[in-house]
Amino acid sequence: MEKSKFKTRTYSYNSLITLKPNTVVDVYGIVKFHKLPFKTKGTDYLMIVTIVDESLIQADEKLKCLLFAHGEESLPQVKIGSIVRFHRLRVNLHSGELQGSSGKGFSWLVVDSRSDGCLVPKASSLNYTFTDVDRKMIERLFCVKQQNQEFRCQDLVKSLEQLKEGIYFDFVCQVVAVSVVEEGVCFLIQVWDGTRPSCPLFTVEAAERNLIMQTDMELRKVAKDWLVDVCVFDDHFQKAATIKPGMFIKFFNLHCPKHKTPDLVNPPAYEELELVLHRGTSYGRGIKILSGTDPEIDNLKKRLEELTKKVERTHTSLTDPKGSPYKTVKGIKVKTVIQGHQSVKLSHFCDVKNATAPMKFRLLARVMDYSPKLSSVSDFLSLFCLQCHYLTPINNYNLEPSTFQIKDGVEYYRCPHCAKKTNSNDIPVMEYIFLMKFILTDGVYYIIANLWRDEAVKFFNNITPLEFISDAEAMNKVRGYLERIHSSEGSSQNLPMMECCVKSFTGHNSVCYEIFDTLIAA
């Protein structure tokens, strides 16, 4: 760090526990909380920063500071755990508690550490003092930070592969494409961080919604298989509209809830999560545009650069006319067999995802997961109406009034959806079916594929749903088949291999996939 070229001024720094109201002080602290800058009702921007030092940590207290500036860029860029120095901070009482605020002559300094351990200072002025006293203060506060769990355990979710339902997290990423979904209400930002989500994420269908996407096409060529959609709402729309493809950004308090599907007759059997930045600024919620030299993106840039080189090498090998998806199929132990398509060449998963529906493929894949799990008959089977295509799990208690008859110990149900449309007794009886969803992967890409009705019966070696209901041995066979193709232990690379036929088709909102002409090896 360079010292100021001007005459060095001496400062005395107060311990935060000793502050008194109606004073102007010079202080150091660790950022415990911050709210991104927002426009006040006047002409200024306001940023809220809560700081602590060892004295306040011991007393379980904190100091809230209100920082004002004419422009957002004049306010400090901080994160939880940043070391800050405030000169000429005003301290007053507010609602019985001490509160700091900026005023005449106020200045700030922020110190963060890069991944290589080097300190990176940023200041409100190009000319600022930095003496041995400052170095000692920063060293001491870095020690304090390392000794406190609340600072060391920030950002537990470092990438998309660590996602879990319901979490809120801060997310650093690069923007690939943007679009207005609804003016002033919702803005779509497509981003990547070089990792793949640990669970399926909802994708906004830009083509079906006639969205005008602003895209960095060169970047998309590399990032297309890692893209995720983030929907930004209400208060954050104006900020999001300033974001351009290629920028690095950070989301604060991004939510990963379960995606709520419209009230369709046939809801999806496999639930997706989504990434949403809700309205409001609670818990520091917002978006920050990061500069290309920001230490927060050091690791991200390295990861993306390495991935770009890898994709370019892979692309070269995939376009080699002599290349094939696998060096050999013979000798690979697979747990399934296909019927009548052995002469069809094996496809790459990336080709499957990029192909225009409808299309058929032959694949070698591993089952990452499947649903529903076989815990009971009622959880595993569904009911299907051939007339209106109503679909429901058999543990739907709304079916009770529609019971048609009991035969050989099996309950049969009339279709409640058709019953609502007629007063006659000519209501179709629903059939029992298998309905499953599999997450298939080649270790790099994944697709979600349906398996149902006759194709599911074929898959389970002609065990029918009625046999599954009435014969315990049939249910045990199905359980054994599922255990054969999927293991809950180990990495995806150690999962059993299966050969399967998959066809693509256009669904309500996206391209869907279905397994066909495939059965478990006897």
Residue 352 parent element (H or E): helix 349-354
Residue 396 pLDDT > 90: no
Residue 133 and residue 39 share a domain: yes
Domain ranges, residue 508: 336-520
pLDDT per position as a tens digit, 362-377: 999 999 889 998 888 8
Last-in-domain residue among 151, 168, 194: 151
- Interstrand relation of 186-192 and 391-393 (parallel, antiparallel or unpaired): unpaired
Residue 109 pLDDT > 70: yes
Please report, to the nearest 10 degrees, the dihedral formed by the alpha carbons of residues 418, 421, 427, 432 taken in order.
Answer: 10
Calculate what percentage of the chain has a pLDDT beyond 90: 44
The CATH number for 107's domain is 2.40.50.140
Q: Quote the number of domains for the chain.
A: 3
Tokens at residue 223, please?
């990032």
Give the C-alpha distances (Å, rounded to integers) separating 6 from 127, 321, 369.
Answer: 8, 67, 64
Average pLDDT over the chain reads 84
Instruction: Please indicate, yes or no, if residue 329 is contained in any of the structural domains.
Output: no
Q: Which residue has the higher pLDDT, 72 or 68?
A: 68
Residue 129 and residue 78 share a domain: yes
Residue 147 and residue 70 share a domain: yes
Q: Which residue has the higher pLDDT, 78 or 424?
A: 78
pLDDT per position as a tens digit, 401-427: 575 677 777 888 888 888 888 777 788
Instruction: Please indicate, yes or no, if residue 479 is contained in any of the structural domains.
Output: yes
Put residue 389 in one of left, alpha, beta given phi > 0 → left and psi -120 to 50 → alpha. Answer: left
List 29's β-bridge partners, or say none.
84
Written as one string, the DSSP assignment of 374-432 is -S-HHHHEEEE-TTT--EEETT-GGGGGGEEEEETTEEEEB-HHHHTT-SSS--PBPEE
Residue 175 and residue 136 share a domain: no
Q: pLDDT-based confidence at 266, cuts 50/70/90? A: very low
Instruction: Please indicate, yes or no, if residue 17 is contained in any of the structural domains.
Output: no
Q: What is the pLDDT of residue 332?
A: 66
Tokens at residue 125, please?
């002025």
Instruction: Please indicate, yes or no, if residue 224 is contained in any of the structural domains.
Output: yes
Instruction: Please indicate, yes or no, if residue 319 is contained in any of the structural domains.
Output: no
184 three-state secondary structure? coil
Q: What is the pLDDT of residue 292?
A: 84
Q: What is the pLDDT of residue 321?
A: 38
Residue 326 pLDDT > 60: no
Instruction: Please indicate, yes or no, if residue 12 is contained in any of the structural domains.
Output: no
246 three-state secondary structure? coil
Last-in-domain residue among 87, 120, 151: 151
Residue 58 and residue 186 share a domain: no
